[in-house]
Structure 1
Amino acid sequence: MHAWFSGSNVTSLRLVSRYGPCSPFETKELPSLEQILLKDQLRVNFLLKGVAKSSTDDSKVSISAMDAGEEYVINVSYGTPSREQTVLMDTGSDLSWIQCKPCNVCYPQEQPIFDPSQSSTYAVIPCNSPTCSQLQGSCSSSCAYFIPYGDGSNSSGVYGYDRLTLSPNDVIEPFLFGCGTDNKMVFQDAAGLVGLGRGKSSLVSQTSQLYHSVFSYCLPSTSSNTGFLKLGEPGDASNTVYTGMLTSSNDPSSYYVDLIGISVAGKQLVIPQSVFRSGGTILDSGTTITHLPPSAYETLRSAFGSYMSQYPSAPPTHGLDTCYNFSGYETITVPKVALQFGDGVTLDVDSSGILFDNCLAFSGGQVYGVGIIGNVQQRTYEVVYDVGNERIGFAPHACS
């Protein structure tokens, strides 16, 4: 099945925090820190799918693994006539899906639930097609999909295709996606998600002829600001530095990078490169804080703490153990933290990405040897995923 495209070979969409003032959702209340960090652990388990078994007590939290840290949403439209849907952006998923009528189980969402029977361009994927067998879905009369997330929530329904409108000038047809008629406690408010992973069903793969398997995003420094998701070549490439994109045979959809070191206040920490390389490091849009190998985290915590000794410490909170009490301080000075990659590339973490709720925004509770660079540390950079050339770029101060 070949898609046709109309529009330009670069499309930029407004990206906002689902909890900020720019969010289209009525419910803007930020989850508690406990909810965010419990969710973050579930997200880690989801990313490491078959490897990880959830060690978190799921009964403590009534929020989905895809809910609190998956904080960034875009607006796209499905169908003919087109119907706007607010969806989450996710580099950790391949298959895109939205809630569809007739719903067996649907959660409340902001816009009306998509009704494929009202779209003149919608069709289901037949059971016996190569597209369905690629999906490894089940079959009765039409191709079915099922996606389980790390916390017992899931989405299932029919795999079909329709027209996807990214902007008034940018249309993709046919776009393959899941029409979810059974969606158990997956999101609140969002219609579904757009998958930006490396698998064949992702938006990146489906639009590779148009956008050449390149996309980028900029996550704003605060939830009050806006960022963007861009499909196609980044604009000003002059200040972008690239590091190699690695692949794991166990996890071919995720984006791995060769993290080899960390510095604090310009001083290289003494951590053997093998500590990072043993399990590899995933760059992820949906994990909140960065998860490091325990020995690397302990070295970072110690160095960071010595620079912050002038501030009174605060009790650990839900897995963040390097916390401070800044009450009474008008300004605080935080040492620079930089992540170093194998090919000489350094990412100076923006000042908004070093502390999270007055705690160091890193954790040593890494799972199964795999590290994950979370979205807090990616703030304000244009992060470029050049899948075709197997490289990931970083350009500073990119969100306007």
Structure 2
Amino acid sequence: MYARHRYLVHHESIAAVVLVGWLRRFRGMHPRFILLPASVSLYKQQVHSEAATHCISDISVAERLNRKSSMTSSIPKLLLLLFFLSHRSPIARAGDDGSYKVLSMGSPRTDSVCSQSKAVPSSSAGAATVPLHHRHGPCSPLPTKKMPTLEETLHRDQLRAAYIQRKFSGGGGAGGDVQRSDATVPTALGTSLNTLEYLITVGLGSPATSQTMLIDTGSDVSWVQCKPCSQCHSQADPLFDPSSSSTYSPFSCGSADCAQLGQEGNGCSSSSQCQYIVTYGDGSSTTGTYSSDTLALGSSAVRSFQFGCSNVESGFNDQTDGLMGLGGGAQSLVSQTAGTLGRAFSYCLPPTPSSSGFLTLGAAGGSGTSGFVKTPMLRSSQVPTFYGVRLQAIRVGGRQLSIPASVFSAGTVMDSGTVITRLPPTAYSALSSAFKAGMKQYPPAQPSGILDTCFDFSGQSSVSIPSVALVFSGGAVVSLDASGIILSNCLAFAGNSDDSSLGIIGNVQQRTFEVLYDVGRGVVGFRAGAC
């Protein structure tokens, strides 16, 4: 009997200690109660999830623990409660859900050496995967070029964000079923290629020649510089020579593929070949013949890949060979490979310019996506290029901020080309205040452009920062990597001019996640720690 009593006391003490830990973890959501969200269903296009709140008073739990007369019966209850807390809801989480994260401040020496850390795609057999690099990092195949200053990066980023928001200026945002007039869509794409940061190397033609291309989820038409080109910018690789490829074929003006170019169409050449044009907001442009050829993505081949063969350009000054469009429009690589690889792709953006990620085509379905948390993908028939999601809440240090759900009603899009995440000002103000409250150990610093929540990290080799998690519809909780919270010495978020402006999830917040765009199934997924 004594041994049995000691066994019960020992196990009840362990249960009490673990329970107190859970109580402390969840008390931040309410000063006195634990909040347990109920099951949240995932709908295909628009999800209205309501969490049922179960309140368990920590005082009543403590009283129960002190009742020795019910010691025997309380143990199963405690264990059941602990099990329920550890499996508290089907809400999925990507990333560490702790209250604080440690961010290494790096050093010039390590930032100049390409890291050999291995990126691990989740894709199953049949998918095509290629390495992905930051254009200015030591892993880049391009010649070393000076990294732009933070001021330059933020200036270009602001112009790109404004461009995307203008596209959705017809009202309603990306959060619901909205109809937008084509008249609201500008013909210029962002500012220039300088707004894009990540690139891949592919093979084009037969035999294949290497082409280093920037990737962009905000573009549909892909293009490379081609011979002959009297007005082309200098690039690292030789110009693509159509005459040297046995599988190259230009489209005729009367073809259906030429007709689907829409506003990127540019009439006919003297030989009745289809012409394209893409104009950027800074006045730079590319024009040439819309064509097809074999594309090599790693060990996979995409036959009859459609792209612009650029013969005339103006305003470009980088070393890249062209651009790979990953948008949702008919001309994008994603749409072109729908029949062979499925309408899905994923990428992982590395945490620093000195490390590598990957781009995968055909990353949908099967056991390969079991590690993702997923949220419904929202689309606009009038602006099909962009992939929308519904942001519902934000957590800082494990505590959900008090932000009315209506604040996010303008909608949100994912974008690989935007750097800083844009939030409604009401949401950003709450995020900034909560983050600063958890950073009192570091002196404040002067703002850097649009980044106004900055800190003095002088002399620090690493810093401890509050965790930040984005909560999306369908129960997807994405706890950001430390590299996705701070840029330089500032909180890597900015507020829009008003709550009615479209939100944008930028590439800083996407770092280290494998971000899945499963267009066929209508979901966006996140898998933590992929690169």
Indicate the residue corresponding to 1:240 in structure 2: 372
Indicate the residue corresponding to 1:252 in structure 2: 384
Q: 2:150 aligns with which of 8, 33, 50?
A: 33
Indicate the residue corresponding to 2:349 in structure 1: 219
Q: 1:229 aligns with which of 353, 359, 362?
A: 359
Q: TM-score, normalised by structure 1?
A: 0.91
Q: 1:105 aligns with which of 222, 231, 240?
A: 231
Q: 1:77 aligns with which of 203, 212, 219?
A: 203
Deviations 1:174-203 (A, max 9, x none): 111001112222451110111111111111
CA-atom RMSD in angstroms: 1.7
Indicate the residue corresponding to 1:362 in structure 2: 493
The AA in structure 2 aligned to 1:245 is: M
Hey, what's the Cα distance between the residues in 2 that align with 1:366 and 1:248? 23
Q: Which has the higher strand share?
A: 1
Indicate the residue corresponding to 1:345 in structure 2: 476
1:324 matches 2:455: yes
Deviation at residue 303 of structure 1 after TM alignment: 1.1
Deviation at residue 366 of structure 1 after TM alignment: 5.3
SS at match of 1:377: coil
Q: Structure 2 matches for 1:19-168, cutoff 5 A?
A: 19-48=136-165, 50=167, 65-136=191-262, 137-140=265-268, 141-167=272-298
Hey, what's the Cα distance between the residues in 2 that align with 1:355 and 1:276? 22
Deviation at residue 332 of structure 1 after TM alignment: 1.5
Answer with 226-235 or 249-258: which moved more.
Answer: 226-235
Hey, what's the Cα distance between the residues in 1 that align with 2:461 and 2:135? 29
Deviations 1:177-234 (A, max 9, x none): 0011122224511101111111111111111111111111111111111111011126
**Aligned residues with identical type, % of pairs:** 49
Q: TM-score, normalised by structure 2?
A: 0.69
Deviation at residue 296 of structure 1 after TM alignment: 1.1
Indicate the residue corresponding to 2:300 in structure 1: 170
Deviation at residue 127 of structure 1 after TM alignment: 0.5
The AA in structure 2 aligned to 1:70 is: L
Change (3 A) 1:396 1:31: same
Hey, what's the Cα distance between the residues in 1 that align with 2:497 and 2:337? 34
Deviations 1:295-323 (A, max 9, x none): 11111111111111221111111111111
Indicate the residue corresponding to 2:66 in structure 1: none
SS at match of 1:314: coil
SS at match of 1:299: helix
Hey, what's the Cα distance between the residues in 1 that align with 2:444 and 2:437? 12
SS at match of 1:40: helix
* Paired residues of 1:66 and 1:187 also in contact (CA < 8 A): no
The AA in structure 1 aligned to 2:256 is: P
Q: 2:129 aligns with which of 2, 6, 12?
A: 12
Hey, what's the Cα distance between the residues in 2 that align with 1:162 and 1:109? 21
Deviations 1:337-362 (A, max 9, x none): 00011211111010111010100100
Hey, what's the Cα distance between the residues in 2 that align with 1:110 and 1:344? 45
Indicate the residue corresponding to 1:305 in structure 2: 436
Q: 2:507 aligns with which of 354, 375, 385?
A: 375
Hey, what's the Cα distance between the residues in 2 that align with 1:174 and 1:284? 27
The AA in structure 2 aligned to 1:130 is: A
Deviation at residue 130 of structure 1 after TM alignment: 1.3
SS at match of 2:478: strand
* Paired residues of 2:346 and 2:516 also in contact (CA < 8 A): yes
* Paired residues of 1:49 and 1:150 also in contact (CA < 8 A): no
Q: 1:265 aligns with which of 379, 383, 397?
A: 397
1:315 matches 2:441: no
The AA in structure 2 aligned to 1:303 is: A
Indicate the residue corresponding to 1:58 in structure 2: none
Change (3 A) 1:330 1:133: closer
Deviation at residue 138 of structure 1 after TM alignment: 2.7
* Paired residues of 1:46 and 1:149 also in contact (CA < 8 A): no
Deviation at residue 78 of structure 1 after TM alignment: 1.1
SS at match of 1:159: strand
* Paired residues of 1:39 and 1:67 also in contact (CA < 8 A): no
Deviation at residue 152 of structure 1 after TM alignment: 2.1
Hey, what's the Cα distance between the residues in 1 that align with 2:289 and 2:196? 24
SS at match of 1:295: helix
- How many residue pairs get matched? 379
The AA in structure 1 aligned to 2:327 is: G
Hey, what's the Cα distance between the residues in 1 that align with 2:282 and 2:401? 36
Indicate the residue corresponding to 1:57 in structure 2: none
Hey, what's the Cα distance between the residues in 2 that align with 1:318 and 1:379? 22
Q: 2:467 aligns with which of 329, 336, 359?
A: 336
Deviations 1:227-276 (A, max 9, x none): 11011126732321110000124422100001111111011111112211
Q: Which has the higher helix share?
A: 2
Unaligned runs of 5+ in 2: 1-124, 170-189
Deviations 1:110-136 (A, max 9, x none): 101112122222121100111111112
SS at match of 1:334: strand
Hey, what's the Cα distance between the residues in 2 that align with 1:331 and 1:79? 47
Instruction: List structure 1 segments (4+ residues) > 6 angstroms apart after TM superposition.
Output: none
Tell which structure's C-alpha radius of gyration is larger. 2
Hey, what's the Cα distance between the residues in 1 that align with 2:455 and 2:279? 37
Deviation at residue 291 of structure 1 after TM alignment: 0.7
Hey, what's the Cα distance between the residues in 2 that align with 1:68 and 1:242? 31
